[in-house]
Amino acid sequence: MTSAKASSAMLLARELVTASIPGPTADAETRRFLADGCASGVCLYGRNITGPEQTLSLTDALRKVGGPDFLVSADLEGGYVWRLRPEATHWPSAMALGAANRPDLTRLIAHAAAREFRAMGIDTPFAPVADVSDHPRNPVIGTRAFGGTAKHVAQHVTATIGGYREGGVVSCVKHFPGHGNTDTDSHFSLPVLNHSIERLNTVDLVPFIAGIRAGADMVMVSHLLVRCLDPDTPASLSARIINALLRRQCKFQGVIVTDALDMKAVTDTYGLAEASVLAVMAGCDLVTFNGTPDDGRAVHAALAKAIASGSLPAEQIEASIGRTRALRRSILRNRRPSLDIVGSEAHQKLALQVARLAVTSFDPSAVRTYGGAIVVEFDPRLPFADPNVRPPYRRFATDYASRLPAQETIVIHPHDWAAQAESLMPSIRAAGTVIIATRNAWRDPQQALALTTICKASGRAVHVAMRDPQDTLLTDGMAHRYATYSDDPSTISAIVDVLTTGSVTTGRCPVSLS
């Protein structure tokens, strides 16, 4: 191989890589990695973000090295899939928007969110999620989906894409061809779908096709084994799924990106560099992964080698690079708003409006709770060592107690309940009302046991499912039940308002509970 051919292959390989970086600054290692031409974009994670000013400074610094069209992405779906700090508006989850079921508000929120992302130099939030959440025990999608029917999800996907486009960011529908009906988390193992072609065409693919018709810029392909399409290869590495299904049947002409290739659904079988080559060979235009700069160099080198050897056909690579460059250049035309828009009062009001519309009561009469209640909040995010550490997010128990005097507020990690139950239960039994807030108790046996124990012991129990509404099945007949689908600050304010005023709720659960 000539040095000219190797150099050309390295330049081409750069265009196919969206890497990750180690920290919140463009340090020497990061600058060297980008200056060496190993990636045309990065995906930011929580470790990279400490505030709006810092995020803008970081993205500007990355573009000084990577070029003005350097693509900056982050997972910013809303709800619990969020990377930004409290200064930015934290939007309710997709399922909260689905419960409110106001596509006009979904579009307004997408537009407002896009403006904040752009102000900080973020080009794509890797959203919306187009999965149809119709498996009640799905451990990974849950409230990330708008709902449990194809039509409902499609409406909100379409609205989100329109809002993102108007706000100046790149839309990315995911997780193709549909991760909503799995009982396995692809972060930890490979989900297998035994769907029929008919099921895919009438359910899973419907929101993706709606998103494509609405002008989606990108489609993210997931790590799923879809037996009826390709019984041997995950979707993200399958030419049958990427080329035959997504390109030809669904008629998508934009940029195809992999889900993170460091997920165990892939790495249990393939190395990161090997998977990157296979993904591009199958038809993906961009590979993404959460790794070190050394991982990024290895991926870049593997792609360059495959290009130089002809394993990755020149015509295919040219087409992919044409799509990714066109996408990056299109972003340059979008004016960047002032950083002052981040967390603006108008955006906070919009978030609260939709959060309030999303709150769902599962019992026929509204319940007003009064001062003197005991509030128990289960929070798996607590550090085991020091549950009194002030978190960088709002607490339901604290907000409730600030509105009405509480007899006691208890914020506890579910796994600490057994050790503290004996000391806590006497006051719970004696209380007139106990309000319990849970987070995904349906898949946490210790939290579920604590929840039902409290409800059975209490004279009057109110259960708030802060994330997955499946939690409400645990207390059917034992408590007045509410679902919020999210635990962002606006949603916490919304449910506290409902509980302290007895306001009527209008949200409707957008998924089937069983």
- Angle at which helices 150-167 and 205-213 cross, to 10°: 30
Number of neighbours of residue 113 by Cβ within 10 angstroms: 28
The confidence band for 277, taking pLDDT boundaries of 50, 70 and 90, is: very high
What is the C-alpha separation between 111 and 168, in angstroms, rounded? 8
Q: Cα separation of 203 and 39, whole Å?
A: 36
How many H helices and E strands in the chain? 18, 15
Clarify whether 497 is annotated catalytic: no
409-422 core/surface letters (b: 16 or more CB in 10 A; e: else): bbbbbbeebeeeee
Above 80 in pLDDT, residue 4?
no
pTM over 0.75: yes
Query: Does residue 286 have a pLDDT over 70?
Result: yes
- 10 Å CB burial of residue 338 (0-12, 13-18, 19+) is exposed
**131 among known catalytic residues:** no
Least confident window among 55-64, 333-342, 362-371: 362-371
CA distance 244 to 280: 15
Question: Catalytic: which of 259, 295, 444, 471?
Answer: 259
Active-site position among 187, 195, 413, 415: 187
pLDDT tens-place string over residues 95-136: 999 999 999 999 999 999 999 999 999 999 999 999 999 988
Q: In what order do the strands lie in the sheet with 172-176?
A: 172-176, 218-221, 255-258
Contact 490, 484 (CB under 8 A): no
Identify the structural domains of the chain with CATH numbers, from first to last.
3-84+120-338 (3.20.20.300), 346-501 (3.40.50.1700)
Secondary structure percentages of the chain, helix, strand, coil, to 5: 45, 10, 40
Taking residue 77's Cβ as centre, other Cβ atoms within 10 Å add up to 23
With a cut of 90, say whether residue 183 has pLDDT above it: no
Q: Are 86 and 489 in contact (CB under 8 A)?
A: yes
* Segment 482-503 mean pLDDT: 94
How far apart, in whole angstroms, are the C-alpha atoms of residue 418 and residue 216? 48
> Which two three-digit tokens encode residue 39?
């990636």
Write out the two tokens for 460. Answer: 């009057």
Average pLDDT of the chain to the nearest whole number: 93
Q: Are 72 and 44 a contacting pair, CB within 8 Å?
A: yes
pLDDT in the model for residue 334: 83
Mean predicted confidence (pLDDT) in 11-18: 97
| pLDDT computed for residue 385 by the predictor | 42
